[in-house]
A and B are shown apart, each in its own frame.
Chain A
Amino acid sequence: MIVQDRNSKLEEYLQLLRSMAFELERAMSAISVNSIQGLEDSLANQEAFSTRLVELADDLSGPVQKEPLAVRGSADDDLLQRVRAASNELQSLNRRYSALLKYSSRSVAMMVSLFSSYEGQIQEVSGPRLKLQTWSCQI
């Protein structure tokens, strides 16, 4: 039955939105503690979820035959509302995740530049302590 199919797709979509949100949180935590493995694990899940989400989204956003309210029922509206709420939540997380990625990847880029262009010059200073070190790198 067409109505049932659509509703169960919406349910799956909803679940995926929530799972994706969870993964974003997980990825952000992994980044905070510098767990590259944790980040990679999360990304693997994210890839899988996003593939399925895009499929479902294509499916669910095609033209829908206008059904009388009695047939659609209020359950459909309720489900849609939850989908929207979950989607808003995910978008909000995504913005934060995107900002964090921007900053973190800038750090990585700086480190990469450092490693690839480091040219150290050591200048001995008398005394047991300070060693002034001069280096330059392209950033």
Chain B
Amino acid sequence: MRVNPNMVPDILADLQQSQAAVNTALQEVATGKSVEVPSDNPVAAADMVQNTIETANVDQYTQNVSSMLSMVQAAGSSLGSVVTSLTQAISLGTEGANGTNNTSNLQAIASQVQGILQTVVSQANASYLGTYLFGGTENSSAPYTASSSSPSGYTYNGNNNVNSVAVGDDMNVQVNLPGSQIFSNSSTDVLGSLSSLVSALQSGNSSEIQSATSAVTTALNYVSQQQVFYGNAESQLNSQETYLQQETVNLTSQQSSLVDVNEAQAATDLSQAETANNAAEAAAAKVLPDTLLNYLVPTQ
């Protein structure tokens, strides 16, 4: 077959293709990504849509876990203080019931217990970053306020509802118990038991003081049980934190395999493409007339 007198269009086509390869390789090295547009890898591009959304979610869930951890820890520690206060109240009540106290002693003890009640109420009104911890979902104002009409002297302004916070795609963790359940429950009324103890001490009746004190003991056991909820929430959040860390690694790794270009690989591609381009140009140089060569821009 004799030489094709129309070889020029072929060579230009070859050059254009090898130039395109150089450009692609250059872009890969510059951006570190091999999917710039969906046509680069349609399947990867589609997968990236999911990956993008999941990655953003996991980032937010991680933040949620962190802030909820702080919150449940704050609530748990408030209840810990309440347990301490109740323990104090019990020993005061025991002391008051031993029959060796005179009236003024009993008055003094009574006012100490009153002080403890006030402390417990302030614990019940604890807040974290501006949100009251024990008001249910009615948490923008103090759950317990003084009320003369209430037997315990305090009325509950919150509600009975709870929040569950999203910490995973299908995972919500309940993060609060309402005060009505913990402190002013009709079957075990913590605040009520304390104010009853105050009244009993003021009355001076030993057996009344005794039974009021054992009611506070019941209340203390109850609060300890309620504390378990927050302990459980904390460990749920902790293990979710570990899971999310792993998810982050997985998603990042997936993203890498979808779009990132291994730097060394990209550099190899680039030098191979450049070599091919140079070879094509060298071949062209041998065949093309000189004038045409002037129109070819070298890759360097």
Decide if B34 is an interface residue (CB 8 Å cutoff): yes
- Complex: how many Å from CA A138 to CA B4? 30
Please, which residues of chain A bring their CB within 8 A of the CB of B10? 32-33
Cβ contact within 8 Å between A77 and B253: yes
| Mask: chain A, 23-55; 1 = CB below 8 Å from B; 0 = not | 000000100111000000000000000000000
B239 within 8 A of A: no
Residue of B at shortest CB range from A85?
B265
Which residues of A lie under 8 Å from residue B41 when comparing CB positions? 88
Q: Which residue of A lies closest to B253 (CB)?
A: A77
Least distance between A98 CB and chain B CB atoms (Å): 17
Q: How far is the CB of A106 from chain B (nearest CB, A)?
A: 21
User: What mask results when residues 78 to 109 of chain A are scored 1 for a CB within 8 Å of chain B, else 0?
Assistant: 10111011001000000000000000000000
Residues of A within 8 A of B271 (CB): none
Interface size on B, residues (CB 8 A): 13
Which of B4, B14, B44, B262 is A78 in contact with, Cβ under 8 Å?
B262
Which applies to chain A's interface (DSSP): helix, strand, loop or mixed?
helix
Is B297 in the interface zone, CB < 8 Å from A?
no
Name B254-272 residues within 8 Å CB distance of A.
Answer: 256-257, 261-262, 265
Number of A-B contacts (CB under 8 A): 20
Q: Which residues of A contact B129 (CB under 8 A)?
A: none
A136 CB to closest chain B CB (Å) equals 29
A81 touches B256 (CB 8 A): yes
Q: A33-B10, A88-B41 are in contact. Are A81 and B257 (CB under 8 A)?
A: yes
Q: Residue B1 at the A interface, CB < 8 A? A: yes
Within the assembled complex, what's the spacing in Å between the Cα atoms of A29 and B10? 10
Tell whether, in the assembled complex, residue A82 and residue B1 are in contact, meaning their CB atoms are under 8 Å apart: no
A-side contacts of B14, CB under 8 Å: 29
CA distance A81 to B252 in the complex (A): 13
**What residues of chain A lie closer than 8 Å to B34, measured between beta carbons?**
85
Q: Which residues of B contact A78 (CB under 8 A)?
A: 262
Residues B1 and A81 in contact, CB atoms below 8 Å apart: no
Q: Mark B118-133, 1 if CB is under 8 A from A, else 0.
A: 0000000000000000
Within 8 A of A (CB), among B7-52: 10, 14, 34, 41, 44
Residues of chain B lying within 8 A (CB to CB) of residue A82: 262, 265
Question: Which residue of the partner chain, among B4, B253, B257, contacts A84 with CB atoms under 8 Å?
Answer: B257
A64 to B60, CA, bound (A): 34
Q: How far is the CA of A85 from the CA of B262 in the complex (A)?
A: 9
- Minimum CB–CB distance from B286 to chain A (whole Å) comes to 15
Measured CB to CB, the nearest residue on chain A to B4 is: A33
Tell me the bound Cα distance from A46 to B265 in angstroms: 24
Inside 8 A of A34's CB, which chain B residues have their CB?
1
Tell me which residues across on chain A come within 8 A of B4, comparing CB atoms.
33
CA distance A33 to B34 in the complex (A): 32
Interface residues of B in 94-144 (CB under 8 A from A): none
Instruction: Give B262 Cβ to nearest chain A Cβ, in Å.
Output: 6
A18 to chain B, nearest CB (A): 9
Q: Complex: how many Å from CA A2 to CA B189?
A: 67
How far does the Cβ of A39 sit from chain B's closest Cβ, in whole Å?
A: 14
**B residues in contact with A81, CB < 8 Å:** 256-257, 262
Which residues on A sit within 8 Å (CB–CB) of B44?
Answer: 88
Closest chain A residue to B41 by CB distance? A88
Q: B253 — which chain A residues lie within 8 A by C-beta?
A: 77
Cβ contacts B240-259/A at 8 Å (1 or 0 each)? 00000000000001001100
In the complex, how many angstroms separate the beta carbon of B271 from the nearest chain A beta carbon?
14
Chain A: CB-nearest residue to B257: A81
Q: Which 6 A-B pairs have the closest CB atoms?
A: A81-B257, A82-B265, A88-B41, A81-B262, A82-B262, A84-B257
Q: List 14 A-B contacts (CB under 8 A).
A: A29-B14, A33-B4, A33-B10, A77-B253, A78-B262, A80-B257, A81-B257, A81-B262, A82-B262, A84-B257, A85-B261, A85-B265, A88-B41, A88-B44
Beyond contacts A85-B34, A85-B265: 16 other A-B pairs, Cβ-Cβ < 8 A, are: A32-B10, A33-B4, A33-B10, A77-B253, A78-B262, A80-B257, A81-B256, A81-B257, A81-B262, A82-B262, A82-B265, A84-B257, A85-B261, A85-B262, A88-B41, A88-B44
